[in-house]
Amino acid sequence: MDTPLVAVTGRRRSAAGLHTGPPAMDALEVDAYFSGYAAHVVAAGGLPLHVPGGVDAAAVMDRADALLLTGGNDVDPARYGAVPDAHTSALEPARDALEIALLAAARERGRPVLAICRGIQLVNVAWGGTLYRHLPEHADTRWHDVALSPDSVLAGLHGAGARVNSLHHQGVDRVGDGLVVTATAPDGQVEGLEAERLVAVQWHPEQLDDVPQPEFRWLVDAC
């Protein structure tokens, strides 16, 4: 079997501070994601494929064997009937649109999907759910435990619970239709969602020490 090709999303941002060229290059843009995502995909036996902005989602998923949605800024509140407020981070509407299209294309083709941090929020919105706008108690807590539902994919990977990192200020509110809550924080906040061939987590497994984290092995093996 060929090495599974995993489509990895990222963000588009200014090149300022990211190069050693002349100042004129500050006006350029870069497409990027943190290298831990690709490192875990490779360690799990996959081949990462960076998905830049502006590509055709269906064409990407025609070729890719799996989809990895990475972290980033807030999902546009307009997508779940809200408006920006003082806590809203810089929005990326073009990224929202591309990732929702990638999700739809992955579902149509039966491709496995792993969604991380912003990814779980985007998945929930794409399935018709809503988000809590600001969760300061989670944004200020670096580590916490999560309880995992029996018979879930996450429980199969970690057991009854896991210790995870916390780097988010938003989270799942009303759960989207067809999604199942499979991980919760001690205060009841949703930390994991699952559907057929979909695992979404609020924490950042790509930043944890053991490589690969089991979520990435699941993604590659599911191909």
CA-closest candidate to residue 8, choices 77, 74, 87, 65: 65
What is the rounded CA–CA span in Å between residue 184 and residue 121? 14
Q: Is 35 left (phi over 0), alpha (psi -120 to 50) or beta?
A: alpha
* Active-site residue, selected from the candidate residues 40, 92, 117, 158: 117
Strand partners, 145: 163
Helix (H) or strand (E) holding 13: strand 11-14
Task: Please say if 158 is a catalytic residue.
Answer: no
Task: Please say if 223 is a catalytic residue.
Answer: no
Alpha carbons within 13 angstroms on the beta-carbon side of residue 135 total 21
**Amino acid sitting at position 164:** V
* Active-site residue, selected from the candidate residues 40, 206, 215, 223: 206
* Active-site residue, selected from the candidate residues 138, 204, 215, 223: 204
Q: Is 172 exposed, middle or buried (0-12, 13-18, 19+ CB in 10 A)?
A: buried
Q: Say if residues 118 and 72 touch (Cβ distance below 8 Å).
A: yes
Q: Say if residues 42 and 48 touch (Cβ distance below 8 Å).
A: yes
Task: Please say if 117 is a catalytic residue.
Answer: yes
By annotation, the residues acting in catalysis are 117, 204, 206
